[in-house]
Amino acid sequence: MSIKKPFLYTLVFLIIVSILFFIGFKVINANNNELVLKEKNGELTLKESINLGLSSAKKWNKDAMFYKITSSDENRGGTRGDTGKRYDWNLFFTVPGTDKQLILGIAKGSIDFEHEVIGPDEPPIMLDDIKLDSPDLLKIVKDKYNLQKGEDWATGYHFTLDTIDDKPIVTVVGIDNDKLFTKISINPKNGKITGAIHKVPKGGELISLPSGTNTPKITKREMYIKGISSSDNSLVAWGDQKPTGINSTNQPFIELSNNNGESWNPLTIDENIVYAWFTSNKKLYIATESELLSIKNTEDKIDSILSLKTQIEGIDYSTDKIAILSNKNIYTTNDNGASWNVTSEPEPLLSLQVSNTGILIGLTQDRKVLLKSGVKWDTLKLSTDELEVSDLKVINNDILLLMDNEIWVYNLENERFNKFDNTSKIIQIIKKGSNLFGISEDGTIYLIDWGGDSFELKVNRLFLIENKIVADVGMTKNGLFIATIPDFIWEDIK
Average pLDDT over residues 406-410: 93
Per the prediction, the chain carries an average pLDDT of 87
**DSSP 8-state code for residue 75:** S
Are 109 and 44 within 8 A, CB to CB? Answer: yes
Give pLDDT tens digits for 471-488: 999 998 888 999 999 999
Measured between its terminal Cα atoms, the distance across the chain in Å is: 92
Average pLDDT over residues 109-130: 94
- What is the per-residue pLDDT for 270? 86
Give pLDDT tens digits for 348-386: 999 999 999 999 999 999 999 999 998 899 999 987 766
Average pLDDT over residues 453-463: 85
Handedness of CA 58, 137, 125, 91 (dihedral sign): positive
Residues in the chain: 494
CA distance 363 to 368: 6
What is the pTM assigned to this prediction? 0.78
Range with top average pLDDT, 32-36, 217-221, 488-492: 488-492
- What is the per-residue pLDDT for 299? 67
**pLDDT confidence of 78, banded at 50, 70, 90?**
confident
- What is the per-residue pLDDT for 453? 64
- What is the per-residue pLDDT for 256? 92
- What is the per-residue pLDDT for 8? 40
Are 199 and 488 within 8 A, CB to CB? Answer: yes
Phi, psi for 444 (deg, rounded to 5) = -75, 135
- 483 versus 454: which is more confidently predicted? 483
- What is the per-residue pLDDT for 12? 36
- What is the per-residue pLDDT for 252? 93
- What is the per-residue pLDDT for 195? 96
- What is the per-residue pLDDT for 363? 96
Cα 250 to Cα 178, 271, 317, 390, 471: the distances in Å are 10, 10, 27, 31, 18
Is the pLDDT reported for residue 97 higher than 90?
A: yes
- What is the per-residue pLDDT for 454? 61
**pLDDT confidence of 187, banded at 50, 70, 90?**
very high
Give the other-Cβ count within 10 Å of 444's Cβ.
Answer: 18
- What is the per-residue pLDDT for 174? 95
Give pLDDT tens digits for 191-212: 999 999 999 998 899 999 988 8
Is the pLDDT reported for residue 29 higher than 80?
A: no
CA distance 474 to 432: 7
As to burial, measured by CB atoms within 10 angstroms (0-12 exposed, 13-18 middle, 19+ buried), residue 113 is exposed
- What is the per-residue pLDDT for 85? 96
Handedness of CA 31, 36, 38, 43 (dihedral sign): positive
Range with top average pLDDT, 78-82, 215-219, 289-293, 373-377: 289-293
Average pLDDT over residues 46-69: 96
Phi, psi for 39 (deg, rounded to 5) = -65, -40
- What is the per-residue pLDDT for 146? 95
Are 319 and 395 within 8 A, CB to CB? Answer: no
Closest CA to 173 of 201, 133, 142, 202: 142
Cα 175 to Cα 69, 156, 213, 327: the distances in Å are 21, 9, 43, 32
Average pLDDT over residues 169-189: 95
